[in-house]
Amino acid sequence: MKLNTDFVTWFRSVAPYVNAFRSKTFVIAFSGKMVADKKFVELVHDFNLLASLGVRLALVHGARPQIEARLEELKLQTKFVNGILVTDPATLQYVKETVGRVHIEIEALLSMGLPNSPMANAAIRLTSGNFVTACPIGVIDGVDLMHAGKVRKINAAAIRTRLEIGEVVLISPLGYSPTGEIFNLTLENVATEVAIALDAEKLIFLTDYINTKEIPTNDPSSLLRELTIAQCKPILQELSNNDTKEAVEIKRYLPCAIKACEANVARTHLVNRHIDGAILQELFTHNGIGCMISQVPLQTLRKAKIEDIGGILQLIEPLEVEGILVRRNRELLEIEIDRFIILEHDGTIVGCAALYPFANERACELACLAVHPNYRNAGHGSTLLKHVETKIISQGTQNLFVLTTSATHWFIEHGFKEVTLSELPQEKLGLYNYQRRSKVLLKSL
């Protein structure tokens, strides 16, 4: 960062997330391929950072590539059904051996302290246990999967007890039956069921191939940064016959995201692990770098309330300083709060607009249209304008006008035309500020 002010601005932008995430439970799932990667140490550092900020972490690891490599080394014949390894008694022995080895390697990395790194003076308390009760998957397409299993129950109380005392819980892709049998589980099944059982705030899958996009495109292998459950289901249908690496991974994780969110996990994130600091960038930046799935849209339009005044002031004050908007103090906002509409994104006010009706002339003024800098160029201004137009049409208003000194082109692009002062409602003409010399733009509805 070039200046101390840059650091201060960045630190202030991160602070709300730190406060929001403290004492919240995150379930993070990562594959065995990631454990084998040299960059896994950096991910361990990020786990430590989250834990030090008070996040309650349950980590679920995989071991699929290590298991496959071990079976290939032994020249054991393998068979997969729907991507699940048919696990006979002989194969199970090597699954247990491999998963145990991977688990111990992860424990070792989470236990180390490195000077001049986020692990300096770290004292992560790590715990594991028989938290997962499993049962056999059974027969699929006429094939008995034997010791390949699925989660039957999660001992959520035991996990919560350890999280509440500040321990990080590490969970393997193995489950146990009440009769003492051991089952080979999938990473995504375990992580999803753990998140649901814990009522986790977030379920995060670190992926290999999933990429994201900010605006809709025809590329089915990339996901939008934000999706609802309803938006996810058509994507799965569209990819049903697509066997690219990206599509296969989306079809693996998106159903888990849907299931978790339908069971009231607040957010599920699919994050590409190859991006440096992927988890931190996803969690602590406005736009993130992965795909976030939620049950309902994060963006809502609603009528402003008195409690929103602080957020509106924070939004419009920089534009007032630049002379783009007319100054409004807190007292005026309190008086006129009923005229404001706000655009809220995940609990944060990111846009606003105000409407001033002139009923006698069947006209309405659009004023104080503003969008937070971090959310511009994403269509939020258009969303506000469309909502305003729908609202005033329903009230029988014919004309919408706006006074602007700097956004003329934007309004013209959205159907307004520049007119003379004489076309203003007489009441508004009497209040016109000739010093600002604002241009008048009109849109007939």
Per-residue pLDDT of the chain (445 residues; tens, 9 = 90+): 455 777 787 787 788 888 889 999 999 999 999 999 888 988 988 998 899 899 999 999 999 999 999 999 998 888 888 889 999 999 999 999 999 999 999 998 887 755 555 555 556 788 999 999 999 999 988 899 999 999 999 999 999 999 999 999 999 999 999 989 999 999 999 999 999 999 999 999 999 999 898 777 777 778 989 899 999 989 999 998 898 999 999 999 999 999 999 998 999 999 999 998 999 999 998 778 999 999 887 778 899 999 999 999 999 998 888 888 888 889 999 999 999 999 988 788 989 999 999 988 889 999 999 998 878 877 889 989 999 998 888 888 889 999 999 899 999 999 999 999 999 998 898 888 888 899 999 999 8
User: What whole-number distance in Å separates Cα of residue 146 and Cα of residue 425?
Assistant: 79
Contact 225, 186 (CB under 8 A): no
Task: Note the pLDDT of residue 122.
Answer: 58
Enter the tokens of residue 293: 């799935």
Going along the chain from its start, the domains and CATH numbers come out as 4-294 (3.40.1160.10), 299-444 (3.40.630.30)
The pLDDT of residue 245 is 92
What is the per-residue pLDDT for 430?
87
pLDDT at position 1 is: 45
Per-residue confidence (pLDDT) for residue 123, from 0 to 100: 63
Residue 170 to residues 131, 167, 190, 377, Cα–Cα distance (Å): 10, 10, 12, 41
Instruction: Find, among 255, 260, 283, 286, the residue nearest to 271 by Cα.
Output: 283
Instruction: Give me the residue label for tokens 């159903």.
Output: 255
Alpha carbons 171 and 187: distance in angstroms, whole number: 10
DSSP secondary structure letters along 325-388? S----HHHHHHHGGGEEEEEETTEEEEEEEEEEEGGGTEEEEEEEEE-GGGTTSSHHHHHHHHH
Query: Cα separation of 331 and 416, whole Å?
Result: 31
- Taking the C-alpha atoms of residue 19 and residue 15, their distance in angstroms, rounded to an integer, is 6
Determine whether 46 is exposed, middle or buried from the number of CB atoms within 10 Å of its CB (0-12, 13-18, 19+): middle
The per-residue pLDDT for 155 is 97
pLDDT at 339: 94
- The stretches of 376-436 forming alpha helices (DSSP H) are 380-394, 408-413, 426-429
pLDDT of residue 303: 93
Phi and psi at residue 242, to the nearest 5°: -100, 125
